[in-house]
Structure 1
C-alpha cells in the first residue's frame, strides 16, 4: 500500500510540474484576439502596475494539452491573481508602469531613408505555397540486413598477438618494401659512381689501300703513282686514378705496310709502337673532382636511404601498434554495448512483470523498450567500428588485396599494458636526439652539402695539369729487290767507268766506287722481330710539359659555391628547427602518458562508482523508492563509464607507442633487428632475445 501511495503522490507531482511548465511556456493573447480561454475565466486585463515578466492572470492550457496533463492537474485547483504583486528582482517597483505596446495616438517619425524604401511584406496567406513532393510516398517495409560483417566469416577467427602483427607488417607492408627498394637503388647508384674509375679497353682493326698520284721524280712512283696498303690493329687501355685524380692511357699499334715506292727498302714492313701517357692535375681537381664528388654523394645517399628505411619501419610499427589497440578497443566496446543490451533486456522483462502485477505504469515499459532500442543502435555502431578498425590493421599487415587474411576475423590476444616506461625528460630527450632517423637524415644532408662546397670551391681554382708521355717503337721487314743499289748512283755507273778510263790514260786516280747499301740485321724479319725491337726499347721517345687553363671570370663556379654556402646555412637552420620539433614531440608524448595514467585512474574510479550507483538505483526502484527514469540514467551512465575506462586503457598503450616513436626507439623496444641480405635490408624479430626474455636468463 505504501508503494502505491508513493507512486500516486509521485505521479501527482509530475503532472503538476507539467501543468506549470505549460502555463509559463504560453504567452497571453494579443488585445482584440478572437481566441479566448473557455475553461477558466480570463479575469480582468493586466494592470499597468504589473511588474515586467509577471502575468496578472496566467493562461490555461489549450485544447491540445493531453487530458492526463490538463484534467488531473486542474482538478481541485483554483488560481487567484495577487492583489498587489511584489517587487521583482528586475528592479521595477510596483508603482512603475511597464508599457508593452505602442501608445494609442502616439506619432512615430518615418525612419526610412530616401531610396531605401522596403517592399511591403505580404501576409502569410498571400505567400506562394511550396508544391508537395511525392505526397503518397511510403518507405517499404524491408527485413533487417543480416547481423554480420561484409567479407568476413565470423566463424573463421584467427588469434593475433601484437608481435605477430608487427612481424606480418615488416614482411608484407608496402611502405617498408618501397623503402627497402630505395636502399637497393642507392646501392646501385654507389656502384655506378665507383664505375667511373673502372679501366676501359678498346681496340680497332682495319685494312686500308691508298693509291696516290705523284708529281715528282723523287716520289718513288714508277708509273706516276704510289700504291700503299696496310693492315692496322690498335689497342688502348685507359682509366682514372681514384687517389690523385689523374688519367692514364696506354696505346699499342701494329701495322703491316706494303708499297710500290722505289725508295722503300723494307717491303713489306711491320711497325709497332707502345706509348704511355699520364695527365695529373696540379691545382684544380688534384684532391677532389667530379667523379669523387659523385662517389661521396652516393655513399651518403645510401646512408640516407638506410635512415629513411629505419624511419619508415618505426612509423609502420607505431601505426600497427595504434591500429592493434584500436581493434582491441572496438571489440571490447562492442562487448560493453552487448552487455548494455543484455541489461536493458532484463530490465524490460522486469518492468513487464511489474506492470502485470499493477505496480508500474505501462509507460515505463515503453521507456525500457526505447532504452533497449538505443543500446541496440550502439551495438550496430560498435560493430561498424570493429570492421573499420580491423580493416585498418589488415591494410598494414596483409600481403595484397587477395590475401586470405581479409576473410578472417582477427582476435587480439595481448592485454593492455598499464605500466608505462619510467624515463625522465632529459633521458628521453638524449635518446631521441641520438636515435631519431630524422636527425641522421639532417646530418647526412649537411654532409652532402659539405661535399658540394668542397667541390665548387675547388672549381674556382685554375686548371694546371702535368702532362707526360713515354713511347717505344719497333720496326722490321723484308729487304726489297732494289734496296742493294742506290737509284741515284745506279744510272751513273757507265759514266763513272768512262771517267775512270780517261783518268787512267792521263795518269789520274780513278773515282771510288759508291758505297754498298746495307741494312742491320735487327731490322730484317717479320712481326716477331718488330715486337722484339719494341720490347728491347731501342727506339724510344718521351715528353714532359704543363698545360694551363685560366678562366677570366669563372662566374659559374663562383655562383655554385655561393649557392652551396647558402644551402649549408639553410640546413643548419632546419636542423635547429628539427631539434625543437623533436623536443616538443618528446614532451607531448611524456605528457600524454602522464595524462593517460591520470585519466585511467579517474575512469576506473568513475566506472566503479557508476556500478554502485546503478545497483543502488535498481534496488531503490524495486523497493518503490525511485522511478524508472533514474534507473535509465544510471544504466546509461554505467555504459558510458565502462567505455571511458576502456578508452583510457587503450590511450595509455597508444601513448606508450607514441613515446617510442618520439624517442626513435621503436625497433629496440620491440626487439627488431635490421639484417643485410643480397636482396637488401631486412627487418626481423629478434627471436633469440625473445627466448631469452621468456626463459628469464
Structure 2
C-alpha cells in the first residue's frame, strides 16, 4: 500500500503543481503561452512564430450621419464618432495592454520547468596495480537524468528527479557488467520565515493587478480629457460658424449703406467726400468675413481630426453641419459648491489613481518587510535506488585470466524493478538557516518603501487641494459666463434699438451716415460678443464636468473595462 501511494504521489506532482492561471484576457489581448503538450501551438510559437499582423482599423460610422452632401452631427453623434475613431483615445486604450501582460508575467514564477540530459563518455587509461582489474582499464559511462521543478502558490518548492546510469567496463573485479544504476528522488523546500505563505508568494501578482487598476484609472482620466478637448472643438466650430454669420450680416448692412450712399451721391444729396466712410466700412466688413471663413475652415479641420474624418479622403472636404443650439439653456439654479467638490473628490479618476498608488505602496512595504526576515527553510527528500545488469562470479583464488562465470542476466528493467520495489530508500529531513548579521540593502529598501508611501500620501493631499481649487474656479467661470450671456443679450437688444433709431433719424435727414454706420458696427460687435459669451459658457460647462469627474456620466458614455 505504501509503495502504491508513493508512485501515485510522484506521478501526481506535475498535475497537482499546475501553474496558477491569470484571469481571462479580453479579446485580442490573450497572449498566454501554450503548454508543451499542446504540441502544435508550442512548436509554432517557439520555432515558427508568425509575424504580427498590424492592421489599423479605418474610421467607421461616418456614413451613418451623411445628410445629402453634408455631415450633420449633434453633440451626441459627434462624441460617438470621437470614441470609435479618435486616434489618441485608441492609443490610451492600447497602452493598458502592457499592464495586463504584467499580470501574466507575474504568474511566471509558478511556471514549472523540466531539465533533462544525456551524456556518453568512453575512457581508456593505463593501470599500475593488479587490483585495477585490467592492464588497460576501459570504461563506457552513459548517464541520463530528468528533473521537474516548480514553486507552488504557498511558496513551497517541489522537485522530482529521475536518473539512471549504464556503466560497462573491462575491469575483472566488476561483478555486474554492464551495470545499470537508477535513482528517483522527490523533495520539497518550505520557507518558514521569508517568503512564507500564499499572500507573500502572490505579492507580485497582487501588485501587478493593483497597478492594472491604476492604469485603468489613468486611461479613464485620459479619455475624459480627450473628450473634453473634442467637445470644446465642437463648440469652437459652432462659434466660428455663428461668428461668420454675424460678420456676413454686418457685411450686408455695410453693403446696403454703401449702395444707398452711392445713390444719394448720384442724386447730389451728399458730398463726394461722404462716400469714403461707407466704402471703408464695407472693406473692413469684407476683411472680417474673410477672416471668419478661415477660422471656420480651421475649426472644421480640427473637428475632422477629432472624429477621424481626416483619415478618409471622402470626408476631408465634406461640409459639416452642427445641430446644437447656440444660446445656452436658461438655468438660474445656483451651484452647491461643497457638493460638487465632494463629487469631484469621489469621482475624479486621477485622484483615484493617486489613492491606488497608496495601496501599491502598502504591498511594496510588505514585500520589503518580508526581505528583512532571515531565510529559514524546512527541507525534505525521499530517494529510492535500484541496480541491475549481468551478474558474474569470479573465484577469489583463481589465477589471472580465469574467465568469469555468468550467474544471471539483467538490465535496465531489473534496475527499475528494484527501484520501484522501494527496498533501498533514503529519507532526509532538515532545516536550513541563512541569517545575515546585518542586511543594509534590505533595510534601505524598506526605508525607501516607507518614504515612497509618505510621498504618495502627500501627493494625494496635494491632488485633493488642487481639485478643490479647480472645481471652485470652474464654478466661478460658469457663473461668470452665465452672467455675461445675460448682459450680452441686453447689449444686443440696446444695439438693435439704437440702430433702428439711427436708421429713422438718417431717413429723416437729421443725422449723417457716420452715426448710422457707427450704430451698425455696434450691433455687429454686440452680436459677436453674444456668440462668444454663449459658446464660452458651453466650454466652461464642459470644463466643470471634467473637473468634477462627471463628464462621462453627463454624456451617457460608459467605458469598457
Q: What band does the TM-score fall into relative to the shorter chain?
A: 0.7 to 0.9
Which of 179, 188, 199 lines up with 2:92 in the alignment?
179
The corresponding residue for 2:52 is none
The corresponding residue for 2:119 is 206
The corresponding residue for 1:252 is 162
C-alpha distance in structure 1 between counterparts of 2:495 and 2:488, whole Å: 10
Cα distance change of structure 1 residues 352 and 323 upon mapping to structure 2, 3 Å threshold:
same
- For the pair 1:582 / 2:495, whether they are aligned, the reply is no
What are the within-5 Å matches in structure 2 for residues 126-525 of structure 1? Answer: 157-219=70-132, 221-222=133-134, 224-243=135-154, 245-287=155-197, 292-398=202-308, 403-416=313-326, 417-418=328-329, 424-480=336-392, 483=393, 485-486=394-395, 488-490=396-398, 525=410
The corresponding residue for 1:653 is 538
For residue 301 of structure 1, report the CA deviation from its aligned partner.
2.2
C-alpha distance in structure 2 between counterparts of 1:441 and 1:647, whole Å: 36
C-alpha distance in structure 2 between counterparts of 1:172 and 1:285, whole Å: 47
For residue 263 of structure 1, report the CA deviation from its aligned partner.
2.4
SS of residue in 1 equivalent to 2:530: helix
1:211-263 CA distance string (max 9 Å, x none): 344333333x22x23322133221111011222x2322111112222222222
For residue 343 of structure 1, report the CA deviation from its aligned partner.
0.9
SS of residue in 1 equivalent to 2:173: coil
For residue 172 of structure 1, report the CA deviation from its aligned partner.
2.5
- For the pair 1:597 / 2:508, whether they are aligned, the reply is no
C-alpha distance in structure 2 between counterparts of 1:225 and 1:440, whole Å: 80
1:574-593 CA distance string (max 9 Å, x none): 10010011111211222222
C-alpha distance in structure 2 between counterparts of 1:437 and 1:404, whole Å: 37
C-alpha distance in structure 2 between counterparts of 1:399 and 1:370, whole Å: 40
| Conserved? CA contact 1:418–1:653, under 8 Å | no
Q: What do you get for the CA RMSD once the two structures are aligned?
A: 2.5
SS of residue in 2 equivalent to 1:674: coil
C-alpha distance in structure 2 between counterparts of 1:205 and 1:420, whole Å: 84
For residue 330 of structure 1, report the CA deviation from its aligned partner.
0.1
The corresponding residue for 2:553 is 668
1:90-140 CA distance string (max 9 Å, x none): xxxxxxxxxxxxxxxxxxxxxxxxxxxxxxxxxxxxxxxxxxxxxxxxxxx
Which of 510, 516, 522 lines up with 1:625 in the alignment?
510
For residue 290 of structure 1, report the CA deviation from its aligned partner.
8.7
C-alpha distance in structure 2 between counterparts of 1:436 and 1:323, whole Å: 22
> Rg bigger for which structure?
1
The corresponding residue for 2:41 is none
C-alpha distance in structure 2 between counterparts of 1:369 and 1:217, whole Å: 131
SS of residue in 2 equivalent to 1:371: helix
For residue 324 of structure 1, report the CA deviation from its aligned partner.
0.3
| Conserved? CA contact 2:140–2:169, under 8 Å | yes
For residue 401 of structure 1, report the CA deviation from its aligned partner.
5.3
C-alpha distance in structure 2 between counterparts of 1:419 and 1:618, whole Å: 32
For residue 362 of structure 1, report the CA deviation from its aligned partner.
2.8
C-alpha distance in structure 2 between counterparts of 1:425 and 1:403, whole Å: 47
C-alpha distance in structure 1 between counterparts of 2:313 and 2:386, whole Å: 74
- Larger helix percent: 2
The corresponding residue for 1:548 is 433
Cα distance change of structure 1 residues 213 and 666 upon mapping to structure 2, 3 Å threshold:
farther
| Conserved? CA contact 1:175–1:312, under 8 Å | no
Cα distance change of structure 1 residues 341 and 399 upon mapping to structure 2, 3 Å threshold:
closer
The corresponding residue for 1:14 is none
| Conserved? CA contact 2:386–2:415, under 8 Å | yes
For residue 459 of structure 1, report the CA deviation from its aligned partner.
1.5
| Conserved? CA contact 2:153–2:198, under 8 Å | no
C-alpha distance in structure 1 between counterparts of 2:309 and 2:161, whole Å: 57
The corresponding residue for 1:9 is none
For residue 277 of structure 1, report the CA deviation from its aligned partner.
2.1
Indicate the structure whose relative CO is greater, using CA pairs within 8 Å and at least 6 residues apart. Answer: 2
SS of residue in 1 equivalent to 2:303: helix
C-alpha distance in structure 1 between counterparts of 2:82 and 2:360, whole Å: 32
For residue 363 of structure 1, report the CA deviation from its aligned partner.
2.7
TM-score after normalising by structure 1: 0.66
Cα distance change of structure 1 residues 421 and 443 upon mapping to structure 2, 3 Å threshold:
farther
Across the two proteins, how many residue pairs are aligned to each other? 489
C-alpha distance in structure 1 between counterparts of 2:310 and 2:177, whole Å: 77
1:578-629 CA distance string (max 9 Å, x none): 0011111211222222222111111111111111111111111111222222
1:614-666 CA distance string (max 9 Å, x none): 11111111112222221111111100110111112111211221121111122
For residue 529 of structure 1, report the CA deviation from its aligned partner.
2.7
SS of residue in 2 equivalent to 1:264: coil
| Conserved? CA contact 1:460–1:558, under 8 Å | yes
C-alpha distance in structure 1 between counterparts of 2:489 and 2:386, whole Å: 100
1:371-414 CA distance string (max 9 Å, x none): 11111111111112112222222222226656443322322122
C-alpha distance in structure 2 between counterparts of 1:451 and 1:641, whole Å: 61
C-alpha distance in structure 2 between counterparts of 1:280 and 1:216, whole Å: 49
SS of residue in 2 equivalent to 1:673: coil
SS of residue in 2 equivalent to 1:426: helix
